Amino acid sequence: MLFRCANLMALALAGVLLAVGPAWAADVQALQPPPLSLAAKLEPVVGEDVIRLDPEDSLLAEDRRHHQLQLHQGLALATLTTMALAAGMGTWSAHGFPDRNLGTALHAGLGGVATGLYFASAGLSLTAPATEGDPVAVGGRWDSVDIHRALAWGHGAAMVLTLASGVARLSGRLDNEPHQAAGLAAIALMCLSAGVLALVP
């Protein structure tokens, strides 16, 4: 019963994210570096290292970065939706699904799709090219993008644990509880990470 409630909470969290998803997608420019005119007005910051690109390469990099981060956001929303479905299917399979073996197979399939979407989304974010004026380090100042990136380490670790514990559960070497806990942690941290971008200036 406890894990059924926990899974329902995960579904609610994913629903909240989907509700703010359009506003988050519309605010994709929050992931972009400040314009050069603004960056030039900033006070010098100790430890700041600004990347410089050739003018021709800069336009191409900005365009590629923009499209990669848009796709990153779309895949992240798809990941959360699929994970919510996988959590619901896992709970249904354990509590009342007509064919438990089929339910487990559907849960595992959805989990595999979610894993693929997650790492595709992460790869797009990690490989997005830096643009001119993009600070590598900003002397202790934190904004919503910094918090988003920091939380990514948490939900990345939770996703790896979810995958590993899921494989161990299917092979009978582990109980349900560790897998469920890791999956719920991943969903919660992803919702928090997305919510920071959507709601924090």
With respect to residue 48, please indicate whether it lies within any of the assigned structural domains.
Answer: no
| pLDDT value, residue 96 | 81
With respect to residue 31, please indicate whether it lies within any of the assigned structural domains.
Answer: no
Which position has the token pair 């200036």?
Answer: 201
Phi, psi values for residue 33, rounded to 5°: -70, 160
With respect to residue 112, please indicate whether it lies within any of the assigned structural domains.
Answer: yes
| pLDDT value, residue 38 | 32
Domain count along the chain: 1
With respect to residue 47, please indicate whether it lies within any of the assigned structural domains.
Answer: no
| pLDDT value, residue 116 | 95
> How many CB atoms within 10 Å of residue 58?
18
With respect to residue 41, please indicate whether it lies within any of the assigned structural domains.
Answer: no
Cα atoms in the 13 Å half-sphere on the side-chain side of 74: 6
| pLDDT value, residue 134 | 53
pLDDT along the chain (201 residues), means of 10: 45 47 46 41 41 58 84 94 92 84 91 95 87 50 81 94 92 88 94 86 67
With respect to residue 36, please indicate whether it lies within any of the assigned structural domains.
Answer: no
Which amino acid belongs to residue 124?
L
| pLDDT value, residue 145 | 82
For 81-108, letters b (16+ CB in 10 Å) and e give: bbbbbbbbbbbbbbeebeeeeebbebbb
Which pairs with CB-CB distance under 8 Å and at least 24 residues apart come from 92-95?
94/3, 94/176, 95/4
Bridge partners of residue 135, in order along the sequence: 50
| pLDDT value, residue 163 | 93
Task: Give the structural domain span for 85.
Answer: 2-22+56-130+142-199
With respect to residue 103, please indicate whether it lies within any of the assigned structural domains.
Answer: yes
With respect to residue 32, please indicate whether it lies within any of the assigned structural domains.
Answer: no
